[in-house]
Structure 1
Amino acid sequence: AVMELYNQKIPLPLMPDATRVNTMEAALKCIGGKPIINSVNLEDGEEKLDAICRLAKKYGTALVCLTIDEKGMAKTTEEKLNVAERIYDLCVNRHGIDPRNLIFDTLTFTVGSGDLEYRDAAIQTLEAIRELHKRHPEVGSTLGLSNISFGLDKNARIYLNSVFLHHCLEAGLTSVIINVKHIVPLARMSEEDRAVCEELLFAPDDNSLFKFIEHFSDKTVEDDGADEAYEAMTTEEKIAKLLLDGDKERMIPMVEEARKEIDPDKIVNEILIDAMKVVGELFGSGQMQLPFVLQSAETMKATVDYLNPYLTKQEKESDTTLVIGTVKGDVHDVGKNLVDIILSNNGFKVINVGIKTDLETYLEAEREHKVQAIGMSGPLVKSTAVMKDNLEVMAEMGMEIPVLLGGAALTRSFVDDFCRPIYKGPIVYCRDAVDGVIGMGRIEKYNDDPGAGLDTRLAGDMKERVEKVKKEVVIPPFAEIKMPDRSVPIPTPPFWGRRVLQKEDLDLDMVFSWVNQRSVIKMHWGYRSKGMTREAYQKLLSETVYPAFERLKREFVEKDLFDPAILYGYYPCRSNDQELLLFDEEEGWNVDANADREPLADVIGRATNIFSFPRQNRKPYRALSDFFRHDRHDVIALTCVSAGPKFSLYEKELYDAGKYLEYNMVHGFSVELAEALAEVA
């Protein structure tokens, strides 16, 4: 399954490597293009090589042939050529393999160990490469080049590897295994540097190694500005540091190098996941702000995507999975998506079912994906009631799956008083995305050991709950409530009915001028000064935040994302206690003619819409409807604005592409653009 996945996503030739012939064939069956079988050798004799050659003929593969025979790795030029000739003869003459499909690795050993046996390793390898191509010019060659400098100082290795590469290419080497970041062009080397390297490689004596070490003891290679503290870190620490910094550009080269010494599964499942947990802890404690959390999440996703071809572990059905959605009747998705981002980057599988999610959609996903928890999100007050209703139905169905509840309007008291009593299963009250990570972590442990029980009480449950004594509120009858002054003249609207203003009718610069920049930056983007000096915060604003604000203003227009519309109108209305009755625009002419004094009972049936407003639970006990006339028709102005549907589509593109910071910034700005339109209207 892993090889099939790689075959679908990687356009380059795949190179399977396996010690068992049947395993190799299983891998080859999954590859649609021309593969390259790696590590072909004579270590186990000719019988196994014959089997590999038959596979190569059957599946049309190339072969990487190592100069290893029954005695082990060939060390001298003569030994290397003898093994290479045996392999060539078996492949070409016995099995009829095209010699152009053979790539020989003559191997090399380090010249940095001080061992006399390997002192001339570079010479033996170079001569083998040169003679091999003289005898068989049609074959290819490769080499794990950095083995030549194994054990030496990392900066010194860069110089030695670079010089050795130059001579290997001159000898005829057709490919090489090396990180190009760790190669210095010979033109940038001093004559002395090159001479010291060549002496160790090609004219070694008892002093060559010590001379080399001494020469490069204080030599450094430009390292893209990395500071000493970073350079002193281990590879694991560097990866974690780059994730915490959200440094995507430096991370990819870092893991490309690291995967050669660290199992990619370990990089993802231990180093990166642990670092993301630190990000979550910093976010939860207020030490890391939302924009930087999103940068780290972007870096995490990009790194995992990059390492995916090298991962050997497949997703298991037992992986802890959450289905999450915004509940029915609620279209807000940013908070829910933030939870998705942080949970996904902490190693959990998340099934995001979107917005306006009815219970059946949750349950279908639960059955299809065999999830371990259901997450219900919703910032609206009415969303909390939907959560309660969902739990009641789930309880009636006998379900006890853990449920995570979260949203701006949700409170601990509501969860304790109205949700937990009606549902037997565990309910986790999540104040934020970090609580979601903690809750899912406990659910994961519970799944592994159900006997240990599941503690659903998080930080939001730990504080002592202070019960407020609620006074009984008795709202007096309508006739006893003092009404506001209704003697003011009824205004005459410019027209009756509705009109629409679209993009071409509006001054976009004027709309942008109404955008509350402070609200965008602090409330939506999350750039706050907490934990920062005044100077540091001002620097962040001037160098990062304000330029981003201006950039998005330009892009919204240039990309035609901002497609505003304003729907507004004036309608006749009349109040009836807490209700406001709206009438057809035609009745507006009666208001103009002062001929609209019919009794309320005679006109109530003609109402086209009825708004119901709650009353205050304290004096003067008013409702919004009280400010409109009840004895005759009044006038109400209604407005509806939109920044346009293109923002939602663009935000989805950014979210799906893993550009989480940009996604959050575009969404926050577009929300305030809608607010600005309301001001303009």
Structure 2
Amino acid sequence: MENGRQRIERVVPLALEHGAALIALTIDEEGMAKSVERKVEIAHKIYDICVNEYGLSPNALIFDPLTFTITTGQEELQTAGIDTLEGIRRIKEELPGVMTVLGVSNVSFGLKQHARAVLNSVFLYHAVKVGLDMAIVNPTHIKPYAEVDSEQRQLAEDLIFNRPDALPRFIEYFESHGPQKTEGATKADPTEGMSTAERIHWQILHRRKEGIEPLIDEIIKQRAEENAVSTDEAAVDVLNTVLLPAMKDVGDRFGAGELILPFVLQSAEVMKKAVAHLENYLEKQEGYTKGKVVLATVFGDVHDIGKNLVNTILTNNGYTVYDLGKQVPLNTIIEKAIEVKADAIGLSALLVSTSKQMPLCVKELHKRGHNFPVIIGGAAINRSFGRRILFVDEQTPEATPLPYEPGVFYARDAFEGLDIVDRLTSPSEQRSDFVQKIKQEAINERQRKASGKADAPASQTQIDTTPSASIKPLATLPRPPFWGARVLDRIGLEDVAECMDIKTLYRLHWGGKSHGEEFERLVEQDFKPRLERMMRSARQLRYLQPKVVYGYYPCQSSGNELIVYEPGEVESGKPVSQWREFKRFSFPRQRERDRLCLADYFASVESGNVDVVPLQVVTMGSAASDYIEQLQQAGDYSEGYFVHGLAVEMAEGLAEYTNRLVRQELGLEGERGRRYSWGYSAIPDLEDHERLFQVLPVTASIGVSLTESYQLVPEQSTAAIIVHHPQSSYFSVRATEAALV
């Protein structure tokens, strides 16, 4: 805002038109904000104009609160590190939904490279802790906080937080010390000099199964002799004071970004082996479980990888988990909780459509007068959703709220779920304080939304069906090699693997979150050899079985609808006006920008031309899900996680393989032949899967079926419509617009 509103008024309309996000620096006519108050003040001004006036989504606004170097000795910049961290925290707190970004290395300008690397790494760690979402860094100059030498780390923190004589001490140290060297690389036994408890902790943290059982025997014997207790009492003590704290350390390091998820699961396998051996001492000991939790993926939802992770973490932290699987009806969940006297119920959902089961469960529990706290999680929901469904009344937000007394708790991930269960099973006074705190947060949010609620504009009940003027009709339409459906069931895994997005596999599905040299080392030493081994195993065990059904169908558009005709009508000789309609698919239209709708990309009824719409459904088969379940039951958590990730990405690879085949058969070049899957913004209605299954012989040919909420089973399956128009693009439609269809 160095020129007031001038740049905002020029840029924000463009961002809205194109669906872009914006970086917003805390700068105004007075200059760059240095103090916390100035950073927050400018952020509020920008937010009010962009969000409240122009209607930009808060999560499309990315604030850079700016940081200044703290190494010059200038008095006015001595608190620059503190001011930036506090600025990030307050912007995230006071402007819900916005994101933050920071050019981290500005903080260390002027230092020698090895000193900058330390200061940048420590500053980044603290920035992430207070809410930083994105960082501009050179990844080769950043290392995990835990790997920074402890003395260097302390010097950096003293400098960041402006402690006495911090700058001269920092400079003096790095003038006399070169770059940090790797220590202990040649040490024969990394646990040398450790106590038995410390060795167990180290092995769990470093994922070493070998030798864990003798260590358990040794420490139980030691504790029994030292405390003059029986071995079963000593075993409970070891569980609570050695094993569980070790897994907590693993969880804390995962939360801090020091461990990737597959490593956490490998630690859980060591923990499982240790607990299984420890249970030999617990035959006489009743009730050593920390608590009982009933877990389920809600009815209609076939995705359970997240729920399985929660099971793994809770089980290996001393809880008894009753995992009911996926697609579980509400009655089954409630009856199991009653049967086992559960301490909590955990519900998981991947999609918005299935997450609607969660408030139904809460209301049913309230109606029956049960007292089970409910923990919810999954990709489709957030903390605000959890606060909203805590209330079981059907009143408006202004009404006196009626909460579900035992509480509804949102868990971002498995470790937050563990923390919630720990609190719910803590002594009654602590548990009561925790539940009341969560309820009060929900009440505050409800009242805030009620007080800030503006008069809503009258809803647009009339649907706009006028085609977008920006989409030009094609003079020549492609001709398919055949009409109707075709099945492919002899596809080589190597051919599918070539179509996978390896980066997505490694980063998204296998949890590789590191960067630079660390990520390259992870790929070369772990991921690549693992992928080769798993592909060999998949061929031998046949748990990946690619199958495809795809086809070409004559079609025309009519407003916001795509009319699909019987394929035999093409050769019938009858005029198009007399062709038998097979199915219709309806799509939402943007109200602004280019007013795009997927139907616009096909020849219209008015044109008299007949277009072609390719449709496809692909699957890696049910054997993958069965194999993952076997691995989970056998306690091979990390392998199950890797197999799940590979199967999901191979399904995406198979979709791309089929897409390439369609593009080749239609003679499409360049970007033509985009693939759109139901559930995304431009094509949101999952109910269309049912129409798709009536066009393509999906279940009979490749064994894919639908749940009652129209999800594909097996999970490792995808469906898509392909658009050949050269102007086709991926675009978004607001939820309110999509709801009009």
Equivalent-residue separation in structure 2 for 1:452 and 1:303 (angstroms): 34
- The Cα shift of 1:233 comes to 1.9
| Contact 2:303–2:349 under 8 Å retained in 1 | yes
Secondary structure, in 3 states, of the residue corresponding to 2:322?
strand
Q: Which residue of 1 aligns with 2:726?
A: none
Matched-pair contact (CA < 8 Å) for 2:261–2:511: yes
CA deviation after TM superposition for structure 1 residue 272, in Å: 0.5
User: Do the aligned residues in 2 keep the contact of 1:439 with 1:456 (CA within 8 Å)?
Assistant: no
The alignment partner of 1:233 has SS state of coil
Query: Are 1:522 and 2:507 matched, yes or no?
Result: yes
Aligned ranges 1:115-126 → 2 under 5 Å: none
| Counterpart pick for 1:619 among 584, 588, 593 | 593
2:645 corresponds to 1:668: yes
Is 1:482 the counterpart of 2:459? The answer is: no
Say if 1:239 and 1:318 are closer, same or farther in 2 by CA, change over 3 A.
closer
8 Å contact kept, 1:446–1:452? no
Matched, 1:322 2:293: yes
Alpha carbons of 1:382 and 1:477: their partners in 2 closer, same or farther (altered >3 Å)? closer
1:308 counterpart residue number: 279
Paired position in structure 1 for 2:494? 509
Name the CA shift for 1:495/1:401 in 2 (closer, same or farther; >3 Å). Answer: same
The residue number in structure 2 matching 1:595 is 575
Preserved CA contact (<8 Å) 2:345 2:375: yes
Q: Structure 1-normalised TM-score?
A: 0.60
The structural deviation recorded for 1:407 is 0.7
Conservation of the 8 A alpha-carbon contact between 2:362 and 2:392 = no
Residue 483 of structure 2: aligned partner: 496
Q: Name the counterpart of 2:322.
A: 351
Does 2:220 match 1:259?
yes
Equivalent pair of 2:483/2:567 in contact (CA under 8 Å): yes
- Classify the secondary structure of the residue corresponding to 1:522: helix
Conserved? CA contact 1:427–1:456, under 8 Å: no
Q: Is the 8 A contact 2:272 2:316 kept in 1?
A: yes
Separation (CA, whole Å) in 2 of partners of 1:410 and 1:488: 45
Per-residue deviation, 1:510: 2.1
CA drift of 1:389 comes to 3.0
- How far 1:313 sits from its partner (Å)? 5.3
Cα distance, 1:583 vs. partner? 3.8
Query: Structure 1 residues 446, 485: CA separation in 2 closer, same or farther (over 3 Å shift)?
Result: farther
The corresponding residue for 1:49 is: none
Which of residues 432, 436, 460 is equivalent to 2:417?
Answer: 436
Q: Which structure has the larger Rg? A: 1
1:572 and 1:418 mapped to 2: Cα distance? 45
User: Counterpart in 2 of 1:226?
Assistant: 189
Judge conservation of contact 1:578–1:612 (CA < 8 Å) in 2.
Answer: yes
**1:38-72: CA deviation from partner (whole Å, max 9, x where unpaired):** xxxxxxxxxxxxxxxxxxxxxxxxxxxxxxxxxxx
Distance change (3 Å), C-alpha of 1:479 and 1:608: closer
Instruction: Please give the alpha-carbon distance, in whole angstroms, between the structure 1 residues aligned to 2:563 and 2:297.
Output: 32
Contact 1:582 1:610 (C-alpha < 8 Å) held by counterparts: yes
SS at match of 1:322: strand
Are 1:643 and 1:674, in contact at CA under 8 Å, matched by a contact in 2? yes
Q: Is the 8 A contact 2:387 2:442 kept in 1?
A: no
1:555-634 correspondence to structure 2 within 5 Å = 555-590=537-572, 593=573, 595-598=575-578, 607-631=581-605, 634=611
Q: Which runs of 5+ in 1 are unaligned?
A: 1-222
Match of 2:338 in 1: 367
CA change 1:259–1:316 in 2 (3 A) is closer
CA distance in 1, matches of 2:488, 2:411: 42
Contact 2:550–2:617 (CA under 8 A) maintained in structure 1: yes
Picking from 583, 591, 612, the partner of 1:635 is 612
- Distance apart, 1:597 and its partner CA: 2.4
Q: Which residue of 2 aligns with 1:412?
A: 383
Cα-Cα RMSD: 3.2
Q: Which amino acid aligns with 2:243?
A: L
Partner residue in 2 for 1:395: 366
Correspondence for 1:250 among 208, 211, 217: 211
- After TM superposition, list the pairs within 5 Å mapping 1:104-143 onto structure 2: none
Query: Does the aligned pair in 2 maintain the 1:475–1:617 contact within 8 Å?
Result: no
Q: Distance in 2 between matches of 1:579 and 1:643?
A: 31
What code does the residue aligned with 1:523 have? L
- Residue 549 of structure 1 is matched in structure 2 by 531
State whether structure 2 residue 631 is matched by structure 1 residue 654. yes
- SS of aligned partner of 2:302: coil
**What are the superposed Cα offsets for residues 210-259 of structure 1, whole Å, 9 maximum, x if unpaired?**
xxxxxxxxxxxxx99313xx232221121111111111113223223323
TM superposition shift of 1:429: 0.9
| Separation (CA, whole Å) in 2 of partners of 1:474 and 1:527 | 45
**In structure 1, how many angstroms separate the alpha carbons of the residues matched to 2:437 and 2:598?**
42
Contact 2:334–2:365 (CA<8 Å) still a contact in 1?
A: no
SS of residue in 1 equivalent to 2:613: strand
What's the CA shift for 1:477? 4.3
Partners of 2:538 and 2:443 in 1: CA distance: 45
Q: Which runs of 5+ in 2 are unaligned?
A: 1-185, 224-233, 394-402, 659-741
Q: Deviations over 1:559-614 (max 9, x none)?
A: 22221101111223444444434343333435xx472124xxxx7xx654443333
Distance 2:639 2:336 in 1: 29
2-side partners of 1:597 and 1:520: how far apart? 48
**Contact between 2:467 and 2:597, CA under 8 Å: does it hold in 1?**
no
Q: Is the 8 A contact 1:571 1:588 kept in 2?
A: no
Cα deviation digits, residues 58-116 of structure 1 (max 9, x gap):
xxxxxxxxxxxxxxxxxxxxxxxxxxxxxxxxxxxxxxxxxxxxxxxxxxxxxxxxxxx
Q: TM-score, normalised by structure 2?
A: 0.55
Q: How many residues align?
A: 444
Q: Which residue of 2 aligns with 1:338?
A: 309
C-alpha change, 1:418 and 1:583, in structure 2 (3 Å) is farther
Matched, 1:297 2:279: no
Q: Separation in 1 of the partners of 2:360 and 2:649?
A: 33
Alignment partners' CA distance in 2, 1:608 and 1:457: 52
Q: Which amino acid aligns with 1:656?
A: Q
Which residues of 2 match residues 451-466 of structure 1 at below 5 A?
Answer: 452=433, 454-455=435-436, 457=438
Indicate if the aligned counterparts of 1:430 and 1:436 stay in contact, CA closer than 8 A.
yes
Distance 1:428 1:479, change over 3 A: closer
Amino acid at match of 1:655: Q
- 1:652 and 1:448, CA in 2 relative to 1: closer, same or farther beyond 3 A? farther
Amino acid at match of 2:546: P
Tell me: CA distance 1:667–1:456, structure 2 relative to 1, closer, same or farther (3 Å): farther
SS in 2 for 1:523: helix
Q: Percent identity?
A: 35
Tell me by how many angstroms 1:516 deviates.
1.5
The answer on 1:384 being equivalent to 2:369 is: no
Residue deviations 1:169-203, cap 9 Å, x none? xxxxxxxxxxxxxxxxxxxxxxxxxxxxxxxxxxx
Please give the alpha-carbon distance, in whole angstroms, between the structure 1 residues aligned to 2:269 and 2:442: 31
Native 8 Å contact 2:296 2:324 kept in 1: yes
Distance change (3 Å), C-alpha of 1:405 and 1:479? closer
Aligned to 1:238: 199
Residue of structure 1 equivalent to 2:259: 288
Task: Tell which has more relative contact order, 1 or 2 (C-alpha 8 A, sep 6+).
Answer: 2
Asked if structure 2 preserves the Cα contact closer than 8 Å seen for 1:581 and 1:607, the reply is yes
Q: How big is each residue's C-alpha offset from its partner over 1:127-166, in whole Å with a ceiling of 9 and x where there is no partner? A: xxxxxxxxxxxxxxxxxxxxxxxxxxxxxxxxxxxxxxxx
SS in 2 for 1:375: strand
* Matched-pair contact (CA < 8 Å) for 1:446–1:453: no
Q: How big is each residue's C-alpha offset from its partner over 1:452-492, in whole Å with a ceiling of 9 and x where there is no partner? A: 5625649x989999979898574864355535334444433
Moved more, 467-476 or 303-312: 467-476
